[in-house]
């Protein structure tokens, strides 16, 4: 009760200033430092875990965390699911060490997905893991404690869209009809509820990396009052980074821009219609099969090579790679996913220098590969698709002083021509995943 009153007070004070606050948002010094940290980190683990994992996709391919909506399960029936959710094999130390072995620097986990179920101890709601499941423990708290121990930052994914709360009204494009909710509700009460849960997440778990919003796309006409929510977050934790998966150009108050299952600027999924790439730190998220939540049927795993190449291309755009796993209802990460993560970690052990701490390279990623650039100016050319032994790429902005293979340090044969930079990479020097060249050129220092 005390906490709810505190939240109401805080929201009151935030909303009275918010009209002026977020549109002219000036990130704090801490926030700016965290943005740098975020860009240096380059690789994170996305975790979609909720009571939907019990149904494991229901034997369908497709996004398992949407099963409530896909199968039109009324709230009254879906509410039985938490009583089957008992992840006795959940070991946060194991999760975090898998992420670390994969070379990941942060974890972003679902605190609440669209089904409205809180995976943390929420005082404002009874619909949470502590009160509704036989497990009865706050898994986010357990994970955060372990992240702190092992030096990994934790972000919370929080769905603005809610298929469970009655005050999420008017309804958006999803969660209509079948849920059994009354045809009325108070939108402002819903926002208060959401902001109170956010306050809980920002006050009960120590310092967090940030909030990863999702779901605004459910209804564009709604008055989301982002200024109030963003001001609340930045007041509670000025260093926390806000991003929102609304698939549009970032709004004032957001600290990073994200792209779903597409590289920045690409639009194979149909989400990224504006094509806007902002100057904010960037992040691309990706699934290992076709689902975010645990899907027992979907064995269509992306090969390690493809995932690494996507990560490298993302880095070439200056974007982080947030790779998803959907843990099983017993609390274990699928063994297939663990194998993939470990394999990526082994690659990063050898080649991480060309990814971590870099910024987008001087050449835009293309069919042939990508470039990344270290702060001391070193350019890494990542050749990931080469037919034959010769490759013409656009010229670098400055004259090359030296070009060597990252592996072994042998000189690379190259020619700077009027048409671009011509590289000769003999077959025996070519790597299956990524042939990396280390280039030094004059005046390329980023600092």
Give the binding site for ligand FHN (CB under 6 A).
63, 65-66, 214, 245, 260, 285, 292
DSSP letter for 251, please.
P
Q: Which of 18, 5, 2 is nearest to 229 (CA)?
A: 18
| Nearer CB in complex with ligand FHN: 91/260 | 260
Nearest to 414 by CA among 401, 398, 427: 401
Q: What distance in Å separates the CA atoms of residue 407 and residue 425, rounded to the nearest whole number?
A: 13
Looking at beta carbons only, is 15 or 69 nearer to ligand FHN? 69
* Backbone conformation region of residue 299, classed left if phi is above 0, alpha if psi is from -120 to 50, else beta: alpha
Q: Minimal distance in Å, beta carbon 271 to ligand FHN?
A: 6
Q: What is the DSSP string of 286-349?
A: E-SSS-SS--SS---PPPHHHHHHHHHHHHHTTEEEEEEE---TTSPPPHHHHHHHHHHHHHHH
Find the helix or strand (DSSP H, E) in which 239 lies. none
Smaller CB separation from ligand FHN, 63 or 282: 63
Q: How many other C-beta atoms are found inside a 10 Å radius of the C-beta of residue 188?
A: 10
C-beta of 39 vs 160, nearer to ligand FHN: 160
C-beta of 151 vs 270, nearer to ligand FHN: 270
Q: Work out how close the CB of 262 gets to ligand FHN at its nearest, in angstroms, rounded to a whole number.
A: 11
CB-neighbour burial class of residue 426 (10 A; exposed 0-12, middle 13-18, buried 19+): exposed
Which of residues 56 and 437 has its CB atom nearest to ligand FHN in the complex? Answer: 56
Least Å distance, CB 181 to ligand FHN, is: 19
Looking at the Cβ atoms of 148 and 260, the one nearer to ligand FHN is 260
**Cβ at position 276, least distance to ligand FHN in Å:** 16
* DSSP state for residue 408 in the 8-state scheme: T
Q: With respect to ligand FHN, which residue has the nearer C-beta, 14 or 242?
A: 242
Q: Are 295 and 15 in contact, with CB atoms under 8 Å apart? A: no
- CA atoms of 294 and 285, how far apart (whole Å): 16
- The rounded Cα 111 to chain-centroid distance in angstroms is 13
**Whole-number Å distance between alpha carbons of 109 and 123:** 20
> In the bound complex, what is the minimum distance in angstroms from residue 73's beta carbon to ligand FHN?
16
**In angstroms, what is the minimal distance from the CB of 260 to ligand FHN?**
4
CB of 292 to ligand FHN, least distance (A): 4
Q: Which is nearer to ligand FHN, 63 or 140 (CB)?
A: 63
Q: Which residues contact 405 (CB under 8 A, 6 or more apart)?
A: 412, 429, 435, 436, 437, 438
Residue 20 Cβ vs ligand FHN, minimum distance, rounded to whole Å? 31
**Sequence-ordered list of residues with C-beta below 8 angstroms from that of 56, at least 6 positions apart, any chain:** 64, 294, 295, 296, 297, 328, 329
> In the complex, what is the shortest distance from the CB of residue 5 to ligand FHN, in angstroms, rounded to a whole number?
32
């Amino acid at each position: 009760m005390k906490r709810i009153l505190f939240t109401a007070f805080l929201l009151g004070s935030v909303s009275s200033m918010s009209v002026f606050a977020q549109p002219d948002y000036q990130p704090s010094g801490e926030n700016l430092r965290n943005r740098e940290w975020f860009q240096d980190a380059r690789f994170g683990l996305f975790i979609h875990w909720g009571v939907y994992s019990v149904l494991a996709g229901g034997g369908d391919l497709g996004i398992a965390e949407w099963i409530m909506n896909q199968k039109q399960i009324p709230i009254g029936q879906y509410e039985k699911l938490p009583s089957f959710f008992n992840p006795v094999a959940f070991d946060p130390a194991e999760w975090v060490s898998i992420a670390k072995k994969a070379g990941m620097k942060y974890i972003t986990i679902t605190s609440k997905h669209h089904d409205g179920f809180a995976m943390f101890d929420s005082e404002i709601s009874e619909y949470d893991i502590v009160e509704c499941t036989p497990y009865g423990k706050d898994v986010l708290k357990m994970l955060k404690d372990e992240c702190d121990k092992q030096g990994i930052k934790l972000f919370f994914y929080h769905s603005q869209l809610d298929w469970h709360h009655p005050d999420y009204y008017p309804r958006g494009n999803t969660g209509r009809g079948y849920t059994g909710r009354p045809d009325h509700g108070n939108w402002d009460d819903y926002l208060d509820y959401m902001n109170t849960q956010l306050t809980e997440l920002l006050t009960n778990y120590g310092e967090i990396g940030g909030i990863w919003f999702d779901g605004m796309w459910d209804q564009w006409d709604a008055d989301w009052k982002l200024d109030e929510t963003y001001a609340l977050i930045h007041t509670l934790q000025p260093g926390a980074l806000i991003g929102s998966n609304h698939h549009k150009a970032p709004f004032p108050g957001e600290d990073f821009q994200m792209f779903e299952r597409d590289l920045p600027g690409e639009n194979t999924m149909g989400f990224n219609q504006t094509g806007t790439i902002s100057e904010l730190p960037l992040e691309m998220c990706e699934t290992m099969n076709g689902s975010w939540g645990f899907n027992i049927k979907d064995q269509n795993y992306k090969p390690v090579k493809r995932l690494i190449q996507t990560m490298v291309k993302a880095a070439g755009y200056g974007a982080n790679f947030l790779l998803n796993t959907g843990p099983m209802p017993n609390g274990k990460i699928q063994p297939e996913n663990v194998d993939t993560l470990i394999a990526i970690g082994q690659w990063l052990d050898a080649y991480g220098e060309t990814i971590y701490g870099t910024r987008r390279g001087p050449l835009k990623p293309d069919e042939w590969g990508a470039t990344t650039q270290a702060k001391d100016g070193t350019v890494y050319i990542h050749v990931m698709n080469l037919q034959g032994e010769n490759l013409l790429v656009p010229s670098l902005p400055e004259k090359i002083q030296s070009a060597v293979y990252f592996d072994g340090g042998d000189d690379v044969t190259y020619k700077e021509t009027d048409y671009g930079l011509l590289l000769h990479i003999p077959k025996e020097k070519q790597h299956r995943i990524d042939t990396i060249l280390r280039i030094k050129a004059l005046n390329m220092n980023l600092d």
